[in-house]
């Protein structure tokens, strides 16, 4: 299928390197006809350089999802490049080192609250910031890692992902009357910079392919990117509040 996103205007967050899931989602979206605007945080020159590697160079807007001024001004910044949005990808997550791969019981609230704000509450923040640009038929997609179970090393990021899952359901309830869908794509482990920062996460990567009925390649973000684009498209018009599992089938197994 080609032209799946023809004419769509998308805001994609979370591009850090060209290994990022968000980067590959932006690439596939452009290949499918979308006009893409990116957001970046921190090393903006790096994000802009990565953006130039897309099939079509994309504009980059600085966005710190904990910064009220950034959020308040986001719609106007986006309007400098497109006149509205048909879809938004939330691919944002962060937890301080004390929250990951260490002592779950020892992480202080100050660090846990940061993980929750950046990784979960920001889905609401981003949704409300872009709401003036969205209309009926629009799609908001968040990136998830299945938080229904406790994973080794994931610790408080797992709690934050559980909060993200709940937030997406409440957002789907609130935005549904406006015709806006809110869903999550729950991906298996992909070897990104974010994944490398989680101590012990490599153990999950090594075993995932053996467990997945369809197999799994931690170095191949393409299946996840394609699934994101499918959810951003018009082909799931009555799907909201859902988790689309893109993990090779591991979620379906009991062991």
| pLDDT tens, the chain, 255 aa long | 579 999 999 999 999 888 899 999 999 999 999 999 999 998 899 999 999 999 999 999 999 999 999 999 999 999 999 999 999 999 999 999 999 987 899 999 999 999 999 999 999 999 999 999 999 999 999 999 999 999 888 999 999 999 999 999 999 999 999 999 999 999 999 976 565 566 666 777 778 888 999 999 999 999 999 999 999 999 999 999 999 999 999 999 966
- CA–CA gap between residue 171 and residue 46 (Å, rounded): 32
- pLDDT per residue as tens digits for the range 213-244: 999 999 999 999 999 999 999 999 999 999 99
Whole-angstrom Cα distance, residue 222 to residue 111? 33
Q: Is 177 exposed, middle or buried (0-12, 13-18, 19+ CB in 10 A)?
A: exposed
What is the model's pTM? Answer: 0.95
- Compute CA distances 60 → 55, 74, 198, 223, 254, whole Å: 15, 12, 27, 25, 42
């Amino acid at each position: 299928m080609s032209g799946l996103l023809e004419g769509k205007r998308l805001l994609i967050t979370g591009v850090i390197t060209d290994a990022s899931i968000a980067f590959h989602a932006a690439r596939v979206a452009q290949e499918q006809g979308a006009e893409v605007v990116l957001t970046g945080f921190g090393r903006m020159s790096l994000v802009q350089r990565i953006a130039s590697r897309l099939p079509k160079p994309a504009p980059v807007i600085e966005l710190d999802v904990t910064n009220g001024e950034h959020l308040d001004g986001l719609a106007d910044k986006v309007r400098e490049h497109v006149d509205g949005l048909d879809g938004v990808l939330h691919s944002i997550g962060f937890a301080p080192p004390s929250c990951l791969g260490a002592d779950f019981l020892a992480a202080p609230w100050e660090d846990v609250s940061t993980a929750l704000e950046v990784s979960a509450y920001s889905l609401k923040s981003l949704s409300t910031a872009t709401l003036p640009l969205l209309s009926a038929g629009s799609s908001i997609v968040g990136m998830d890692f299945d938080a229904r179970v406790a994973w080794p090393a994931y610790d408080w990021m797992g709690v934050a992902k559980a909060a993200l899952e709940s937030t997406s359901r409440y957002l789907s309830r609130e935005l549904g009357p406006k015709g806006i869908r809110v869903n999550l794509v729950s991906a298996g482990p992909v070897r990104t910079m974010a994944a490398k920062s989680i101590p012990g996460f490599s153990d999950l990567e090594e075993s995932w392919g053996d467990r997945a009925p369809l197999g799994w390649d931690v170095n191949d973000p393409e299946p996840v990117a394609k699934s994101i684009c499918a959810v951003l498209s018009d082909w799931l018009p009555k799907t909201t509040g859902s988790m689309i599992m893109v993990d090779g089938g591991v979620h379906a197994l009991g062991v």
